[in-house]
Structure 1
Amino acid sequence: MSTSPASDADLRPLRADAERNRLKIIAAARELFAERGLDVSMDDVAAHAGVGVGTVYRRFDNRDELIIGVFTEHLKGVAGRTRDALDDPDPWAAVVDLLTWFCSVIAEDRGLAAIMMRIDHSHPDIEAVKSDLTGQMEEVFARAKSAGVLRPDVASTDFFSIFTMISAVADVTRPVVPGAWRRYLELLLRAIHADPAHDVLTTPPLTDDQIRAIQQARAAS
């Protein structure tokens, strides 16, 4: 039997509903991962998303697939932000805005930081997004080098280490001095600038008392 135009139209809202549910599940999972870490059950995710657990399993076979889904959506957000950076007429401002945004996401979302260290980055869904994203990010940095504002010896792979360092600093300082990581991002940005400024850092240094409190909180965790 041939399919009528009316029955085709009936299918479209179902596909849209399925995509809305998928994004709702991913958003709920990301919130729970940020609050509790990655050891969250599919039942917990379903409850937080306001859908049945069967709906979660129709979109994702298991938690590992859900984690892949969360990270893939994050990379799509990074790709959008990178396109915005390429539209910025100021090459250095583009680098600063992109790195600051990305570091703020990593610093404030513990679940995402954990995912980055645990996930299989060779997964086809991730590689599909990364293929375009990597080229866009390299273009942002190449443009800054051509403008003489980014050190010529900085490699694109250096930014993985910058994100990792900022994530580690944010993790240990968050309970006592939230946002302290911004000072160290400022220092790193000056380190990669071809002609760094010498004005005063905008984020204050940690005090001895704060460091002791951080150490005590870390020892008690």
Structure 2
Amino acid sequence: MSETTDRPLRKDAERNRKRILEAARDLFAGKGLEPNLNDVAHHAGVGVGTVYRRFASKDELLEAIFEDGLNQLTDLAGTALQQPDPWQGFVWYVEQMCEITATDRGLREIAFSKSYGGDRVTAAQERLIPLQKRLVERARSDGRLRPELSDTDMPIFGLLAGTVSEFAGHLDAELWRRYVAILIDGMRCRSDQLPLPVAALDDDGVECAMRSWEPAGPCGDRSRE
């Protein structure tokens, strides 16, 4: 009798978990990482206790959602590296990365900040870095990417695309494509180019920026209140 009554409870629990994850993805994509678990519960149409039974903290929920998203960026970088033309592979990756970061605010914020998430998010971020470095080095060695461009510029490109969407995405959801095209054109190496006026951040600088940037505020509003 106990086994029979347990089964529907397990099904309900899994159904609620999926419902929470879907609601959280939708909420974070539109509003970024600022919403707390209470907001997620409201968006999912479940009691807040149901959310806390599935996810003990906001970081736990963020990892469940965004590890896959970060792995998607890594997979895209790997696919770009397989393209025989280094410049085309680089351009394709920048366009794909910017599409994701322009249309999913939560993923953008967690991809370029180290203030949220835990070990799984950090590991996913770390897997992406060397692939982006190889993409830049390959396109630079090919002679079509301007020599000053650094792999540490990549997070900035993703953030720029997202800023366009935050500013005017409600007027034109595709507007970010215009500015990414301008950006890519400016990255192409030309004989008459002047040097860039400021150097890129080094690896330590990017690490410091990612650790100090808290787009959702201190601790991402992880309290239950």
Same fold (TM over 0.5): yes
- The aligned residue for residue 92 of structure 1 is 87
Structure 2 residue aligned with 1:139, among 134, 139, 155? 134
* Deviation at residue 85 of structure 1 after TM alignment: 0.8
Q: Is 1:178 aligned to residue 170 of structure 2? A: no
- The aligned residue for residue 82 of structure 1 is 77
Encode CA deviations 1:43-91: one digit per residue, 9 max, x unaligned: 6646877998777545521223212332322111111111111111111
> What CA distance in whole angstroms lies between the structure 1 residues aligned with 2:32 and 2:158?
19
Aligned runs of 1:166-205 on 2, under 5 Å? 166-195=161-190
Which protein shows a greater Rg?
1
Gaps of 5+ in 2: 1-9, 192-225
Structure 2 residue aligned with 1:124, among 94, 119, 125? 119
Q: Is 1:165 aligned to residue 160 of structure 2? A: yes
Aligned length, in residue pairs: 180
Q: Is 1:112 aligned to residue 107 of structure 2? A: yes
> What CA distance in whole angstroms lies between the structure 1 residues aligned with 2:58 and 2:36?
7
CA contact (8 A) 1:38 1:114 kept: yes
> What CA distance in whole angstroms lies between the structure 1 residues aligned with 2:165 and 2:141?
32
Q: Is 1:156 aligned to residue 151 of structure 2? A: yes
> What CA distance in whole angstroms lies between the structure 2 residues aligned with 1:28 and 1:164?
24
Q: Is 1:29 aligned to residue 24 of structure 2? A: yes
- The TM-score normalised by the length of structure 1 is 0.66
- The TM-score normalised by the length of structure 2 is 0.65
> What CA distance in whole angstroms lies between the structure 1 residues aligned with 2:145 and 2:91?
11
The residue type equivalent to 2:28 in the other structure is F
Tell me the C-alpha RMSD between the 2 structures.
Answer: 3.2
Secondary structure, in 3 states, of the residue corresponding to 1:176?
A: coil
The residue type equivalent to 1:170 in the other structure is S
* Deviation at residue 104 of structure 1 after TM alignment: 0.9
Encode CA deviations 1:145-193: one digit per residue, 9 max, x unaligned: 1211211211111112222222112211112222112111111111111
Q: 1:145 to 1:26 in 2, by over 3 A?
A: farther
The residue type equivalent to 2:153 in the other structure is D
Higher relative contact order (Cα pairs below 8 Å, separated by 6+ residues) = 2
Q: 1:78 to 1:50 in 2, by over 3 A?
A: farther
Q: Percent identical across equivalent pairs?
A: 36
* Deviation at residue 122 of structure 1 after TM alignment: 8.2
- The aligned residue for residue 197 of structure 2 is none
The residue type equivalent to 2:124 in the other structure is V
